């Protein structure tokens, strides 16, 4: 064989392949589960089904993954440490003494894996009490 054979595919198959290649990980998992449950089709034993992401080409933009979970990090307590300790106690549910230790240990993560709205709310409460806060 001197040259590899060029395969020709119908427009319908190419369109179908493009749709599969463009699936998100969640959609690919849902497709895999559907094929298994409805048709009894499973990936070969010993291996996982891997899907390559879309190829970067003319006009293609990289997929932007939006962050959905945020951490609230206390970076400082300012001049009003007692007020910050009270707010931290309410946020974490810790004892007054543990809250004081947490505030004094800044930078300290107060909440992890929360929604953006909740993180913004906690940040506002802490800043109102005099604290310095970051959302990561």
pTM: 0.48
Q: Domains of the chain (ranges plus CATH)? A: 9-60 (no CATH), 70-135 (3.30.1390.10)
Q: How far apart are CA 24 and CA 115, in angstroms?
A: 21
Residue-wise pLDDT tens digits, 21-48: 887 878 878 887 888 888 777 765 544 4
User: Which pLDDT score, from 0 to 100, does residue 57 have?
Assistant: 52
Torsion of CA 120, 126, 132, 134, to 10 degrees: -30
User: Which pLDDT score, from 0 to 100, does residue 49 have?
Assistant: 47
pLDDT band at 2 (very low <50, low <70, confident <90, very high): very low
Residue-wise pLDDT tens digits, 45-71: 544 444 445 555 555 555 666 777 888
The tokens of 8 are what? 């020709």
- DSSP string over 87-115: HHHHHH---HHHHHHHHHT-SEEEEEEE-
Q: How far apart are CA 133 and CA 111, in angstroms?
A: 12
User: Which pLDDT score, from 0 to 100, does residue 66 have?
Assistant: 72
User: Which pLDDT score, from 0 to 100, does residue 69 have?
Assistant: 81
């Amino acid at each position: 064989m001197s040259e590899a054979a060029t395969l020709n595919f119908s427009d319908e198959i190419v369109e179908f392949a493009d749709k599969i290649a463009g699936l998100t990980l969640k959609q690919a998992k849902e497709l895999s589960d559907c094929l298994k449950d409805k048709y009894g089709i499973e990936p070969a034993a010993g291996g996982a089904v891997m899907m390559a992401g879309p190829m970067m080409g003319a006009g293609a933009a990289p997929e932007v993954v939006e962050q959905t979970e945020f951490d609230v990090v206390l970076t400082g307590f300012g001049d009003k440490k007692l007020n910050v300790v009270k707010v931290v106690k309410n946020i974490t549910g810790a004892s007054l003494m543990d809250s004081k230790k947490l505030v004094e240990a800044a930078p300290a993560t107060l909440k992890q894996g929360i929604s953006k709205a909740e993180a913004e709310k906690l940040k506002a409460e802490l800043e109102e009490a005099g604290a310095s806060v970051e959302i990561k």
